[in-house]
Amino acid sequence: MNLIYWIAFGLSGFALILIFIRRLRLTTHDLKFQKHLAKEEALNEEPMTEAVPEKPEAIQPEGSARQTFLKADTHYGRKEWDDAEVLLMAVVEMDPRHVEAHHKLGMLYMNLGDFPNAELYFNKLINMKKDPVYFSNLGAALYQQQRLVEAAEAYENAIALDDKRANRMQSLAQVYHELDNHDKALHYFERASSRKPKDKDLKLILADYYEKLERLEDATEQLKKVLEMDPYNEEVTKRLKEMEQSTNLE
């Protein structure tokens, strides 16, 4: 099945992270990275449903849910949203528990910016199967509606089922940041960074949080790691020198 969710959204987006520390130094690139994170998280997920092998002798009748879904999937892949929507709705009409059709509809509405309908279909999916992908996508749909407490709960459920995806951690951290729960935001930024050790953006975010909490040694460590990956970053070099001078004065 053609799963090209990450192409579908492109650069449409997740809200800018507003780090409120006294020495805000995130670059434009860093801000854009945070803006698009939740959408990328939803798009990079693949449904974890088990594929049922077809019997070679089985012949799908014309107009069956299977045949209709295949046609819908073709339109979806071409971004022909109207045609895909009509056919996917027909599939759901024929088979109310067709998991793939529900998931495609949810993602289709995310593409169209119809987040309430996306939420509806992700909720239906969760009622069929408690899958971390569906909880994560639900979190993204709720976040886009600024229902942050519910979004946090959805991401928490996703992580409880599968805690291996760094983007999922970072999406939850962003939600907690906007809820002003900075202890939890820092916790999940740290967990995300541990899973993406080469991610400079996360290290800069952590440096900001550590500085706000006056954990200057931790902030310095993160900045040094950034310089190891990007030794010619003048902004980080300047910031590191200022931080080291501040630490020496103390």
User: Which residue's structure tokens are 């024929």?
Assistant: 94
Count of domains for the chain = 1
Residue 56 counted as domain residue: no
Structure tokens belonging to residue 243: 């931080």
Residue 158 lies in a domain: yes
Confidence at residue 63, expressed as pLDDT on a 0 to 100 scale: 66
Task: Tell me, yes or no, whether 174 lies in a domain.
Answer: yes
Asked if residue 57 belongs to a domain, the reply is no
Spell out the alpha helix ranges (H) of the chain. Answer: 5-9, 28-35, 37-44, 65-77, 81-94, 99-112, 115-128, 132-144, 148-161, 166-178, 182-195, 200-212, 216-229, 234-249
Is residue 48 one of the residues assigned to a domain?
Answer: no
In order of 12, 51, 138, 197, 220, the CA distances from 1 in angstroms are 24, 10, 22, 32, 46
Structural domain boundaries, residue 82: 5-43+63-249
pLDDT at 248: 62
CB atoms within 10 A of CB 49: 16
Is residue 52 in some structural domain? Answer: no
Task: Look at residue 221 and tell me if it is in a domain.
Answer: yes
Question: Does 98 reside within a domain?
Answer: yes
d(CA 170, CA 184): 11
pTM exceeds 0.95 for this model: no
pLDDT at residue 154, rounded to an integer: 97
From the first residue on, what is the mean pLDDT of each consecutive set of 10 residues in the chain (250 residues)?
39 32 35 42 42 36 81 94 96 95 97 97 96 96 96 97 93 95 94 93 92 89 92 90 71
What is the spatial distance between Cα 174 and Cα 188, in angstroms, rounded to a whole number?
A: 9
Residue 85 has a pLDDT of: 96
Contact assessment for residue 104 and residue 72, using Cβ atoms and an 8 Å cutoff: yes
Q: What is the pLDDT of residue 6?
A: 38
**Residue given tokens 């190891």 in the structure block:** 228
User: Residues 172, 159: contact at Cβ < 8 Å?
Assistant: yes
pLDDT at site 250:
55
Region of 88 (left: φ > 0; alpha: ψ -120 to 50; beta: rest) is alpha
3-state secondary structure of 213: coil
Q: What is the CATH number of the domain that holds 23?
A: 1.25.40.10
